Amino acid sequence: MMRVSVVQLSSQADLQRNLDKVVELVSRAAEMGAELVALPENFAFMGESEDDRRAIAEDVPGEGPIVKTLQTLARERGVFVLAGGMPEKSTDAAKPFNTSALVAPNGAVLAKYRKVHLFDVDLPDGTTLRESGSCTPGTETSVAEVRGKKLGMTICYDVRFPELYRRLVDAGALIVSVPAAFTLTTGKDHWLPLLRARAIENQVFVLAPAQTGKHPRGRQTYGKSAIIDPWGDVIAQCGEGEGIATATLDFAYQERVRAALPSLRHRKM
């Protein structure tokens, strides 16, 4: 068994305000018994200007305020903290990575994942997003260990690429994280179906913390942060506004699902 929480935020342009809210909600989750607490994509900053985002990019691990806040929080609360997505410095100063990091209860950065699939779209509501114009894509997968169980790390738009999750399962992942800032337009139709599909086809637990509400530059995110089990059932979900959802992951149940429906062993490709 493992007790986990996903945090739902409405992050803005104020870095300190965002970090204060992270501390508040992770602390609340820890008080409820969570051993692993997952934060959404862009948890530290969703602002007006890409220049501002570049300015707060940090080394991971490093000595910047975002990483140090997470390390202190993990140590003080005795929990694993999954940083959902933050700007990490790259060799191109104009294009930091979008990086998810796993921080252990002793404050060590155990693993990190740089978002591979960048969100370049023209949506039906007129929204145009070009993540590749401000981010450097990652090139590698990442699987880390939490309390003896393997966690595969992804970010947001990755959820549309099932081959990534197959690779994580082949590496032993029993849990996958999908921190996100899903747009309202796509989220209302695709968020939960995609998450449930990744859970069902890979027979994994899915942790999906998300952004919600209105942000600078007219952005609106869908929310509905969720925890999903290997059968595809939503076992915890956030409502409206900022908050947390908490559930217990039962790995014996996961073994029963995989034994009763051995689709992973039936793969031909």
Q: What span, in angstroms and rounded, lies between the C-alpha atoms of 169 and 250?
A: 17
Active-site position among 41, 58, 88, 242: 41
Q: Which residue has the tokens 């060799």?
A: 91
Whether 238 is catalytic is no
DSSP calls for 134-180: T-BPP----EEEETTEEEEE--GGGGG-HHHHHHHHHTT-SEEE--B
Strands 212-214 and 220-222: antiparallel
Question: Both tokens of residue 149?
Answer: 């169980």
Active-site position among 21, 95, 112, 115: 115
CA 137 to chain centre: 16
Active-site position among 156, 224, 238, 242: 156
Q: What span, in angstroms and rounded, lies between the C-alpha atoms of 187 and 191?
A: 5
Question: Both tokens of residue 171?
Answer: 């590496």
Whether 156 is catalytic is yes
Closest CA to 36 of 70, 5, 75, 69: 5
Residues annotated as part of the active site: 41, 115, 156
